[in-house]
Amino acid sequence: MDQAGQSAWQRLRALPRPKLSELFAADGERLDQFATKLDLPGGAIRFDWSKTHLDSAHLAGFAELAEAMGFAERRAALFAGAVVNPSEGRAAEHTAERGVGKDSSVEEAAALHERMRLLVEAIHAGVLGDVRHLIHIGIGGSALGPALGIDALARDGALCDVHVVSNIDGCALEAAFAACDPATTLVAVASKTFTTTETMINAASALAWLGSNGVDDAYGRVIALTAAPDKAVEWGVDETRILPFPESVGGRYSLWSSIGFPIALAAGWDAFAEILKGAAAIDRHFRDSNGADNLPLRAAFADVLYTHLRGCQTRACFAYDERLRLLPSYLQQLEMESNGKSATIDGKPLEGSSAPITWGGVGTDAQHAVFQLLHQGTVLVPVDFIAAIQPGDDLDPAHHRNLLANCFGQGAALMAGRESADRARAYPGDRPSATILCDALNPATLGALIAFHEHRTFANAVLIGINPFDQFGVELGKEIAKSIEKGGARFDPSTEALLQAAGI
Ligand code: F6P
């Protein structure tokens, strides 16, 4: 880190540490400064970071750090389609999928989306016969986004019954088989590389299942979603049923590309287009706003405050909306695979912490399971709450009122705490949280929420000086699993004993 970066850190480390209650007491404008409502295509979203320890002095210190770390340049490079992933010599053009980026990439994405739209609408029109089910096979980014999108947006009246299968454990695929009629089932094989072991083994088993259940042309029921169309052709998929996407779209940023095909099939093309629109609005906000007015950057300031200045090793996200129950696992991949690294973008050892462990769950369930530690445990966990004002259900409004009361009540309790002479009943308080409150959850808001987190992740990477777009950490375990499969290699005594016990 250069001198400017060092001095920004020195300044940040020297800042006083007022409590949250003191921050509110000292500044009547705090809410205006740290709770911001963005008007977006799907309705407004309120981003309330006022219950974090950010204050004006931190904002100034982090702005200095952002400048020292070349935030403006790295952001410009991202949107220009320049190489922002130097270890793999690639751009990261997920925003072009949403229509914001280098002109030629935006055009290419639009053309590929048009191809995808035609296929989705042809299926809906019955061109591929009676299609009632889709088994979507993929893993990591090729599964988490589709699963989240379908669970959030196609709960009622889905246009197709989609089963997302990722695990190589055959139990996962068997559960999908049990729920589908082979005569009316399509199989989507979703893999950026079209080489991922789990996906290719699951895909082969799905083909075998179709074949042994009376489907004559099993390959004719397969749709490939991939950045490696040649490999899909080699594997046996007809070119007309391959939906490609550009190599410059990373796996965990690929929901916007043809990897989003099952969302469009289940929720309809218009819904998918709205997801892109909502994300594009956040792209423009992130590209065009500066300093703490830039909400993903402001969130990253708070993230770095907690990891670097307060030593927090985890960050939790609780969705107070059943439709977003898969969001925490989506964010886990986004944040941990992007920023869980110990090398800087220049290949030097990282000073300080990388990304915190991201975890979470759904409210109110999590309150009855893990919130004890958040309120009284000895580790500090910054928490994000995500909720929508409009209910997703048609039941008595008491349900939703109670859900929101719990969401807001938890944030208030974490901050306020409660004194008690009885240590077991005392709450220390001063525990930070941020709240993201949507007017309504709909396709555009979902797109905006995800894009917000993508840019927050990118901003975090820039502030700590790492490349968020590679993931070499996942390779070693895969290699060892392959050499176990192949046989002949020797391992440590514990692994050898496990292999022997399992008869492998
Ligand atoms: O192993 C990690 C990873 O490469 C993720 O980054 C990716 O989302 C996942 O595997 C699936 O990869 P693919 O889409 O190429 O099958």
Tokens 């809906």 map to which residue?
Answer: 124
| Active-site residue set | 337, 368, 478
What secondary structure letter does DSSP report for 437? E
- Ligand 1: atom nearest CA of 196 is 16
Q: What's the gap in Å between 347 CA and the centre of ligand 1?
A: 23
Region 203-229: what's the mean pLDDT? 97
Report the interhelical angle of 3-13 vs 56-68 (nearest 10°). 160
Please give the Cα distance from 272 to 385 (Å, whole number): 25
Q: pTM to 2 decimals?
A: 0.98
Q: Whose CA is nearest to atom 16 of ligand 1?
A: 191
* Pocket-testing residue among 189, 193, 196, 202, ligand 1, by greatest number of atoms within 8 A of Cβ: 196
Question: Average pLDDT over the chain, rounded to whole?
Answer: 97
**Percentage, residues of the chain above pLDDT 90:** 99
pLDDT digits (tens, 9 = 90+) for 53-108: 999 999 999 999 999 999 999 999 999 999 999 999 999 999 999 999 999 999 99
Strand-strand pairing, 161-165 and 133-137: parallel
Given the CA of residue 198, which atom of ligand 1 is nearest to it? 16
Query: Which mutation among 258, 259, 471, 472 tests ligand 1's pocket best, with the greatest number of atoms within 8 A of CB?
Result: 471
d(CA 305, ligand 1 centre) in Å: 30
Directed axis angle between helix 141-153 and helix 443-464, to 10°?
140
pLDDT at 172: 98
What is the band of 186 on the pLDDT scale with cuts at 50, 70, 90?
very high
pLDDT in tens, 410-427: 999 999 999 999 999 999
Q: Would you state the structure tokens that stand for residue 55, as one six-digit string?
A: 């204050």
For residues 149 and 133, what is the distance between their CA atoms, to the nearest angstrom?
16
Measure 472 CA to ligand 1 centroid, in angstroms.
Answer: 11
pLDDT digits (tens, 9 = 90+) for 303-324: 999 999 999 999 999 999 999 9
Measured in angstroms, how far is the CA atom of residue 138 from the centroid of ligand 1?
Answer: 8
Residue in the block written with tokens 């259940």? 213
Tell me the C-alpha to C-alpha distance, in Å, between residue 350 and each of 8, 118, 395: 17, 47, 51
Give the per-residue pLDDT at 51: 98
**Alpha carbon nearest to ligand 1 atom 9, residue:** 140
The CATH architecture annotation of domain 94-272 reads: 3-Layer(aba) Sandwich (3.40)
Domain boundaries, the chain: 3-68+289-469, 94-272, 471-504
- The candidate with the shortest Cα–Cα distance to 205, out of 122, 137, 120, is 137
In DSSP notation, 105-118 reads HHHHHHHHHHHHHH
Identify the pLDDT of residue 85: 98
pLDDT band at 267 (very low <50, low <70, confident <90, very high): very high
Pocket of ligand 1, beta carbon within 6 A? 139-142, 191-193, 196, 199, 251-252, 337, 471, 474
Condensed to tens digits (0 to 9), the pLDDT of residues 349-376 reads 998 899 999 999 999 999 999 999 999 9
Indicate the pLDDT class of residue 209, thresholds 50, 70 and 90: very high
Intrachain domains 3-68+289-469 and 94-272 with the same fold: yes
pLDDT for residue 407 is more than 90: yes
Q: How far apart are CA 283 and CA 427, in angstroms?
A: 40
The CATH class given to the 3-68+289-469 domain equals alpha beta
Strands 45-48 and 433-438: antiparallel
pLDDT, position 53: 98
Mutation to probe ligand 1, out of 142, 191, 231, 256 (largest number of atoms < 8 A from CB): 142
Q: What is the mean pLDDT of residues 246-272?
A: 98
pLDDT at position 1, please? 79
Which residue, 160, 177, 165, 180, is CA-closest to 119? Answer: 160
